[in-house]
Amino acid sequence: MRLKILITLFLVSNIFAGAVKIPTAFSANFLQIVKNTKGKTIKYRGKVVFNTPSETKWRYKTPTKKEVCSSGNELVVVDHDLEQVSYFSIDRGLNLAKVLKKAKLHHGRTYYTTYKGKIYTVVLTKSKKIEQIVYKDNLDNQVNIIFTNTKYFDRLLSNRKFVCTRPKGYDAVY
């Protein structure tokens, strides 16, 4: 009987050891490398904040300044170079929590999953924080997002951190 309990505990712990922990909230710096089908590459840098299940705000600093806020159903893009705010309903965006939940250990710290017809590769740090996500977007671009200075939080971040507001004088596009 004791042997059965030990074997069961061993199997359960090994099954869950391979799972990606979905953070309640996190913040990080990011480098987003987008390579199109012709081989042209553009690199974006900025900061991201995330609340489970789907609140995300990306603050792009270079090469263009913009903010992208998502609630999971709606996307707001504030483009400071164009002085324009665009509003979108989304159903095919990156839902980080769902991608992480479905990810299965492939090798070492690398996980794979398919979500909404796209293949995602997720790489974790040694301390099991998100380090990198790789996927192809809807335009067949290869997207590689590398996270640094990642901080996980045990509580949700303030909702104010996820708001994209339209600055005075900016055009609105619906």
pLDDT tens for the chain, residues 1 to 174: 333 333 333 333 333 345 688 899 999 999 999 999 999 999 999 999 999 988 999 999 999 999 999 987 889 999 999 999 999 987 766 778 888 889 999 999 999 999 888 999 999 999 999 999 999 988 899 999 999 999 999 999 999 999 999 999 999 999
In 63-174, which residue ranges form alpha helices assigned H by DSSP? 96-102
Per the structure, the complete domain to which residue 24 belongs is given by 2-64+92-152
Would you say residue 49 lies in a domain?
A: yes
CB atoms within 10 A of CB 6: 10
Would you say residue 84 lies in a domain?
A: no
Would you say residue 164 lies in a domain?
A: no
- Helix and strand counts by DSSP (H, E) for the chain: 2, 12
For residues 41 and 24, give the distance between their C-alpha atoms in angstroms, rounded to a whole number.
32
Would you say residue 127 lies in a domain?
A: yes
Would you say residue 20 lies in a domain?
A: yes
Residue 120 is which amino acid? Answer: Y
Place of tokens 């483009």: 79
CATH number at residue 135: 2.50.20.10
pLDDT of residue 92: 63
Burial class (CB in 10 A: 0-12, 13-18, 19+), 78: buried
For residues 87 and 47, give the distance between their C-alpha atoms in angstroms, rounded to a whole number.
21
User: What's the domain count of the chain?
Assistant: 1
